Every structure is written in C-alpha cells, then in structure tokens.
Structure 1
Amino acid sequence: MAELSVRSVLVTGANRGLGLGLVQHFLRMPKPPQWIFAGCRDPKGQRAQELQNLASKHPNIIIIPLEVADPSSIKAAAAKVGEHLGGSGLNLLINNAGMVKSNTLDTETLEDMSEVYTTNTIGPLLMGQAFLPLLKKAAQGSPGSGLSCSKAAMVNISSIGGSISSFFGWDIVEAAAYRCSKAALNMLSKCQSLAYKEHGILCVALHPGWVQTDLGAAAGHPPPMTVDESVQGMLKVLSSLSEKDTGTFLDWEGNVVSW
C-alpha cells in the first residue's frame, strides 16, 4: 500500500481530540509534511496549550486562527495559508472541526440546531470554497493522472450518526441536530466530489468511529476507541484512496458506510 505523502495539510479543530491526534500522527510519518496547518478557534487559549507546545518544537506546524462558523475567519485563514505556501498548493484539507448538542428531539431548539448545522455542515462548505484555489493548484502541480489524497483532497470528518439507514446509538443519545448536520455533510461531500473531480480533487466523507474525545463522550458513555486507533486507521484509509473512491462515505477501516 502506498504511503500517504503530502507536502501540505490543513486540519480544522486541531487543538484537541481527533484534530490534535491527526497533527501528531502527521509529525510521526517517515516523511512528515513540510507544512502542517493547524486550525483552531482560540490559539492562545488554555484548550490549545498542547498544540502550542507541539508547535514550539516543530517548525513545520503553523497554527492558524480559524473559526469555521465565521466566513471572515475562513477567508483570513485561506490568505494566511496561501502566504506560507508561496506558489505551491494545498494537498490535503481535513474538515475535522465539529460540535454536538446532546438534546432529545423534544428539547431541540432553533438556536442549537442552527449552531450545530453552521459548524458541522456550512463550515466545511465554506472551507471548500475558500481553499479550492489552493487545492486546484496542488492538483495541477502533481504529476500523473487520477485522484489521490497525496495529490489533492478534501476530507470531511462525518459520523455514522448521519447515516439515515442506521440508527446507531439512538438509544444512548438522540442528538437530532448532530445527526441531521452529518447527514447533510454526507450530501455536501457527494456534491463536492461531483463539482471538484474535474479539478483533480478527491472528496470523501469519513466516519472516525466512536472515539474517546470530548465530543465522543458527550453521550455520557465511554467510547470504545482511542484517538490513536482512529487516526491510524483513517490515515491508512486515506493513503489507499483513488479515483473510484471519490464521493464515498467510509469508516476508519475503509468499509463503506450506508447513506
């Protein structure tokens, strides 16, 4: 299996959980990316301390202030990433930032539904739009035909909770806003795959498993998987993707998840 080899990657929500795990695993690669852009809402806050410590030891980590629910923040982040990359493009965009509100269907509110949907669905839409020029540039600058994550790719971290044909975890947590936002993210991933294929960009939705993160524990039950297990699996899957996989919904083991 080919090793995932990227010159540049951007991970949103990189200060904790899966985002931080992804940054750590990119650093451990035999050939780490030249640029690891770590997007987080409050780079100087307490919750970003571990990321700050990591960045102080690794000059290839560039912390980018990024609030995915704020179009002006996304625009500023794209400009900053573009400056660092100079004339080259961005190989891999991982839309990882997400949120959950553990409401029941009866207690769901307009405000919570809107907030969750804005972060989980509209954020990846706007990120895709803002970073498309840099992804296109990476695709154009990569040799060979076909699609791959080493060339240019947009990866949306989704959830089996967004699978309409599955009712995974319903008896534990209803979280209708989260489920609806991830189902919509899956459709967005499909739309992006159709729109961006001609530009040489691979697009997938990825279910990371039920992972031991703040978000994963929001249901009040201990999740079975560690961040390391999830991230190792996801990176292995990303290294194996090709043109036939664009527009699919996969899990951390590479299995197709039903829509």
Structure 2
Amino acid sequence: MYMPSIVDGVKVTDKLIMASRICDSVLVTGSNRGIGLELVRQLADSPLPPVQIFAGCRDPNGPRSQELAQKHHDVITVVQLDTTSPTSIAEASKLVEAKLKGKGLNLIINNAGVNIPGSLVETGKQEMVDVFTTNVVGPMLIAKDFHPLLCKAAAQFPHQTSMSCSRSAIINVSTLLSSIKRCPENFSVSPMYPYRVSKAALNMLTCCLAEDFRKDGILVMSLHPGWVQTEMGGPEAPLTTLESISSMLKVITSLTEKESGTLLDWEGKNIPW
C-alpha cells in the first residue's frame, strides 16, 4: 500500500497539490474552531494561498481566529457571521463585497454546523428546529445572499465553460450519517435524529443549488470530512483535523462539473444518498 511521506506534518502529495492556488477568494463559515479553523489555517499556510480568505465567525473576537488573522493579516479577514441570523448574513455579504473591490467570490465552504445528540425520546421540536436552522437554513441563506458574488466570479472566466472551485463553487460540509442508504449500517451506533435529518436535508439543498446554479457556472457539492478529533467529534475520532483538512483540500482542488450535486468523503469517494 502506498504511503506518502510526511513533511512538517503534511503529506508531500498534498503539498504538491497545494502548490497551485486553490482560488483567489474564499469564505469559510464556522471558522472559530475545529474544522473551520483548520481550513483557514491550511489555506493561509499553503505555498500559494488565496489572495483573500474570509473567516466567518459568530464571535469575531475569539482568541483562536484572531491569532490566525494576526499571523496572516495580509490574507485573512475575520467576518462576524452568525449563520442563524439573516441580518448577520446580509451584513457579511456587504462586507465581503466591499473587500473584494469589484471582484467576485470564488469559493464558499459552508462549514458552520451543530449537533445535538439525541434519540427519539430525547428529541423534541426545539432540538429539531435549532439544528435544522443552523445546518440547513443557514447554508441556504448564505448561498442566496452571496449568489451575486459567486456569479461575478464565474463571469470573470468568460472563455471557461467548465466548473471548478478556482472559478466559482459552494462546498457544503455534510456527513456519512446523512446517507439514507447507509443508515441501517450505523444508526444503532449514532442515532442523533436532529443531526442526521438536517444533514440529509442539506444534501437535498446541495442538489437543488447544483441544478439552479449550473446555468451560472457555479459548482455545488457536499463533502464529508470524516470522523474528526474536534469538540464536536470528540477525542476518540480516528482523524486529526490536519489529516482531514489536507485531504479535503486535495479533493476540493480536483473537483469538476462531474462532481456538482454529489456527496463525497475526504478521500474523494462517493457516498450514496
């Protein structure tokens, strides 16, 4: 079995892929911790980072995001962004538009999400509504409000008909647990009604947006980061954030129109709906 060598904690193969710029501009939601924070860190630390990285955080003054922004002050802009608030999303889109100075936004990674573990007995209306609001309504409003900036980015490639993340794209962070087909295999281990149902709905949102935005040259797909050692994933998860994100960025870099409207895992393997 091929095992790529490791340099400075990153696979050599991933270093080579990240040697080319993934895109000129990117917005990552939920950037204050875990997967979102590591996404911003690896994007900023790549050999050729995006010109502008917008780190969306509910609390833009959080120590971890601020530390990263100070280290890469020429690249990272921390944006106040609460994906449960339509007002916050609208204000964030205005700020990003102003910072782009007439250019479009190439890539949105809808990472912000919540999980309220619960069996059917433990789950009530409010738990379902709260999780659905963050995991489904938030990404929908982000796509709606930022759509003009994504269209502008796609239009900056007038002679390019193919879709990619370097042109214009939305990546929705989903999960294996959203798969209806795979549910019988893993339900007993992780019932989690609100999380499973909301992420399945997010997958449908992905498919709808992929069809709706195809005419605009905007790629839309869902990506499962794996079970990762974060505050949400817990310490027993088999993947570190470094491993998960380096692999995710490798997949994101290689996406084409063939993957629009699909659900892949961090290794690029297809997950059935």
TM-score range, shorter-chain basis? over 0.9
Structure 1 residue runs of 5 or longer lacking an equivalent are: none
Q: Distance in 2 between matches of 1:241 and 1:176?
A: 31
Residue 171 (structure 1) shift: 2.7
The corresponding residue for 1:250 is 264
Is the Cα–Cα contact under 8 Å of residues 171 and 221 in structure 2 kept in the other structure? Answer: yes
Q: Distance in 2 between matches of 1:113 and 1:152?
A: 32
Q: Distance in 1 between matches of 2:196 and 2:107?
A: 25
The aligned amino acid for 2:38 is G
Please list the CA deviations of residues 13-44 of structure 1 after superposition, one character each: whole Å capped at 9, or x if unmatched. Answer: 00100000100110121211111000010112
Is 1:97 matched up with 2:129?
A: no
The corresponding residue for 1:132 is 147
Where do residues 85-164 of structure 1 align in structure 2 (5 Å cutoff)? 85-142=100-157, 143-164=159-180
The aligned amino acid for 2:96 is V
Q: Distance in 2 between matches of 1:164 and 1:4?
A: 35
Is 1:172 matched up with 2:189?
A: yes
Percent sequence identity is 45
The corresponding residue for 2:65 is 51
Is the Cα–Cα contact under 8 Å of residues 148 and 241 in structure 1 kept in the other structure? Answer: yes
Residue 54 (structure 1) shift: 1.1
Q: Distance in 1 between matches of 2:208 and 2:228?
A: 27
Is 1:240 matched up with 2:247?
A: no
Q: Distance in 2 between matches of 1:186 and 1:133?
A: 22
Residue 50 (structure 1) shift: 1.2
Q: Distance in 1 between matches of 2:197 and 2:22?
A: 34
Q: Distance in 2 between matches of 1:13 and 1:121?
A: 14
Moved more, 92-101 or 49-58: 49-58
TM-score (norm 1): 0.95
TM-score (norm 2): 0.90
Is 1:203 matched up with 2:203?
A: no
Structure 2 residue runs of 5 or longer lacking an equivalent are: 1-16
Residue 57 (structure 1) shift: 1.8
The aligned amino acid for 1:178 is Y
The aligned amino acid for 2:68 is L
RMSD: 1.3
- Aligned counterpart in structure 1 of residue 203 of structure 2, from 173, 186, 198: 186
Q: Distance in 2 between matches of 1:92 and 1:18?
A: 16
Please list the CA deviations of residues 145-164 of structure 1 after superposition, one character each: whole Å capped at 9, or x if unmatched. Answer: 21001100000000011100
Count of aligned pairs? 253
Residue 4 (structure 1) shift: 4.8
Where do residues 204-243 of structure 1 align in structure 2 (5 Å cutoff)? 204-217=221-234, 222-243=236-257
Is the Cα–Cα contact under 8 Å of residues 4 and 235 in structure 1 kept in the other structure? Answer: no
Q: Distance in 1 between matches of 2:91 and 2:116?
A: 28
The aligned amino acid for 2:261 is G
The corresponding residue for 2:24 is 7
